[in-house]
Amino acid sequence: MNRPSTDPVALFEAAREGKRLALARLMSLVERGGDAARVLGAHTYSQIGAAYTVGMTGAPGSGKSSLAAELASVVRSEQQRLAILAVDPSSPYTGGAILGDRVRMQDHVTDDGIYIRSMATRGHLGGLSLAAPQAIRVLDALSWPWILVETVGVGQVEVEIAGAADTTIVVVNPGWGDAVQANKAGLMEIADIFVINKSDRKGADDTRRDIQQMLELSSLGDWEPPIVMTVATDHIGADELWQTVGEHRSYLQESGELQVRRNLRVQAELTEIVTQSLEQRVINTMESPETAELKEKLARGEIDPYAAAARLIELSNG
Ligand SMILES: Nc1nc2c(ncn2[C@@H]2O[C@H](COP(=O)(O)OP(=O)(O)O)[C@@H](O)[C@H]2O)c(=O)[nH]1
Ligand SMILES: [Mg+2]
């Protein structure tokens, strides 16, 4: 029998009663993936759909965590609750960063209406691309109405995670070429809202123009991504940003695009789960003694790679 501390369903129920430690353990289970994540997925699936997910991505140091802290204040002033998932191993919210004065997140640490969790990359298959949506679902099932996912806008997986939100915010800074860099990283395509944070610095207007020009060159739908200027460290712009998120949400709901997006998202996740489990199965087969002879034959040129592959797939299905 599972002890309560590792039984995912028991942890989920304890987390539902507001127990923070249970929630922390639950998120660790999700991070690790495997059976516990599967059980949890089945247990929570019928209880999701009410949460709204906001992704925020941009280069390291662009001010995402500072903005997240600012948004947390806005959300709390509206008596709403917000969960923040930081998928950024380089600047986790845990330990020093959260308690230090670098980011004003310490105001929120003891607030029941705010939950902050950083997720680290795991060293095995599945990784963050599967853990992040699962973590979002758990928070959704626990009735967190708003979930903000912060990821560094470098690396395909990170960009994908942020882009898989209902609303995606792309954060850039003033300075020559920042918008161009964001474009190269594939951030232009996923942006529903642009933020030029550190607008206290020189070149903010130029950056705005750069983004506008890039937007004009790309094929837009009915929603033209607004550009919001912020200075997170001076509490400027977070209200407007949150209002813009609300407008985008209304747009998605009224146009029916929210459901379309969510359908595409869950289909992409399905593909990912299938791909990764097949990949794992093939790797297991490759390592099994049964394939030793096959590999030797391949090495001796007695069988061609395609025929060997067909045999290997047969073995992995068996
Ligand atoms: N001048 C200025 N500095 C900022 C602003 N927003 C954040 N910073 C600073 O930029 C640094 C990186 O911020 P952080 O929120 O950790 O960025 P992240 O890596 O994107 O999460 C910190 O030293 C912040 O104090 C801003 O609007 N103006
Ligand atoms: Mg950060």
Tens digit of each residue's pLDDT, the chain (318 residues): 445 467 999 999 999 999 999 999 999 888 888 788 889 989 998 999 999 999 999 888 899 999 999 999 999 999 999 999 988 655 545 433 443 334 556 667 677 899 988 887 554 445 677 888 889 999 999 999 999 999 887 777 777 887 789 999 999 999 867 777 777 777 888 899 999 999 999 999 999 999 998 888 887 788 999 999 999 999 999 999 999 999 999 999 999 999 999 999 889 889 988 988 898 899 999 898 889 999 999 999 999 999 999 999 999 887
Q: Is the CB of 173 under 6 A from ligand 1?
A: no
3-state SS, residue 17 = coil
Give ion ligand 2 contacts, CB < 5 A.
64-65, 88, 91
CATH superfamily of 49-254: P-loop containing nucleotide triphosphate hydrolases (3.40.50.300)
Number of the ligand closest to the Cα of 169: 1
Determine the Cα–Cα distance for residues 143 and 254; give it in Å rounded to an integer.
23
Token pair for 244 = 């813009």
Please count the CA atoms within 13 angstroms of the CA of 90 that sit on its side-chain side: 12
Q: Is the CB of 233 under 6 A from ligand 1?
A: yes
Domain segments of the chain as ranges: 1-47, 49-254, 271-317
In which element (H, E) is residue 266 found?
helix 257-287
Determine the Cα–Cα distance for residues 85 and 188; give it in Å rounded to an integer.
22
Residues 6+ apart with CB under 8 A from 190: 55, 57, 159, 162, 163, 168, 170
Report residue 268: phi and psi, to 5°.
-65, -40
Determine the Cα–Cα distance for residues 162 and 115; give it in Å rounded to an integer.
18
Determine the Cα–Cα distance for residues 204 and 209; give it in Å rounded to an integer.
9
* pTM for the model: 0.88
Determine the Cα–Cα distance for residues 247 and 223; give it in Å rounded to an integer.
10
For residue 214, give Cα distances in angstroms to 95, 139, 171, 210. 39, 35, 15, 6
